[in-house]
Amino acid sequence: MDYSFPHYLLAKQSVDNRAINRHVYETLAANLPDRPIDIVEVGAGIGTMPVRLLRWGLIKRAKYTLVDSMQENIDYAKSWFTGWAVENNYSLQILEEQSLRLFDSNHDLNITFECADVFDFIRSEPLKADLLIAHAFLDLLPMPDSLPKLFSLIKPGGRAWLTLNFDGVTSFEPAIDPTLDAQIERLYHQTMDERPSGGDSRSGRHLFKYLQDKGAALLAAGASDWVIFPQNGKFPADEAYFLHFILHFFERSLTGYPDLEADAFTAWLKERSAQIDRGELVYIAHQMDFLVQPQLSKGV
């Protein structure tokens, strides 16, 4: 199988659509100003979030800065937006090399692409935003020290919508070998905690205290679990590809890992892949969403 990260990000749109916590989302919608707003999304991938927010009616007029460290994602996003505009009856105007405009009679979205490490982007002191979005991203960063840096991107009174923060539960069904299943899941979480660049396999639950300690007002929180299951032996949309890519993450993280028997792991991967192909696998990952208002006067 050809493992393309942009394809994976595209395939997980439908998974994320179901997972995003609706109470937190509705609280966000109720707290946005009734005027054109400035949005910055860090770790933004190929730009599926602005499209989602257009489809869901959250934004009508906005300036949206899309920050990602992978040039491959930025390049894919530019091409994908063009195709999406045509398919969904939006006009698209290229403003300059790194920005474009998506609009119709009811919407006007100016998107700027920034290919940069998130902390390099912060050090560049960009214009501050009404809304910061970090989607499936905070659990990759060193915490809690990253929070004040991220919150420096927000205007006084602005909000941060922090979605899909992994929280320590991965489940594959049906079981292959319960003991081996549990070992693989435990070691996979352990690799998250051992990343030199930072990360936390229980980021979701830990964020409650981290946010409190940094003086952020918690406006809403709730679970945003990935739950993928077949219906009549088939997975919806492109979710079979998404599941194969999840197994690819496991293979890449755990191949050669101490204490994991190599042949048993190879056989496990093969059987899990076959379960996807047969339309049998159920996959669950527990995550948390937050909506917060940083309180700059408290040192955030």
What DSSP string runs through 143-198? Answer: TTTHHHHHHTTEEEEEEEEEEEEEEEEEEEES-S-HHHHHHHHHHHHHHHHT-TT-
Q: Is the pLDDT of residue 298 over 60?
A: no
pLDDT at 296: 59
pLDDT at 191: 95
The whole-number average pLDDT for the span 237-264 is: 96
The string of pLDDT tens digits covering residues 23-59 is: 999 999 999 999 999 999 999 999 999 999 999 999 9
User: What are the residue boundaries of the structural domains of the chain, listed by start?
Assistant: 5-167+198-227+286-298
Is CATH 3.40.50.150 what the domain over 5-167+198-227+286-298 is classified as, yes or no? Answer: yes
Q: Which amino acid, 274?
A: A
Q: Please report where in the chains the tokens 């920005």 appear, as a residue.
A: 99
Q: Give pTM, 2 decimals.
A: 0.95
Which residues are paired to 108 by β-bridges?
61, 103
Residue 36's CB is within 10 A of a number of other CB atoms, namely 14
Confidence of residue 278 (pLDDT cuts 50, 70, 90): very high
Q: Is the pLDDT of residue 91 over 80?
A: yes
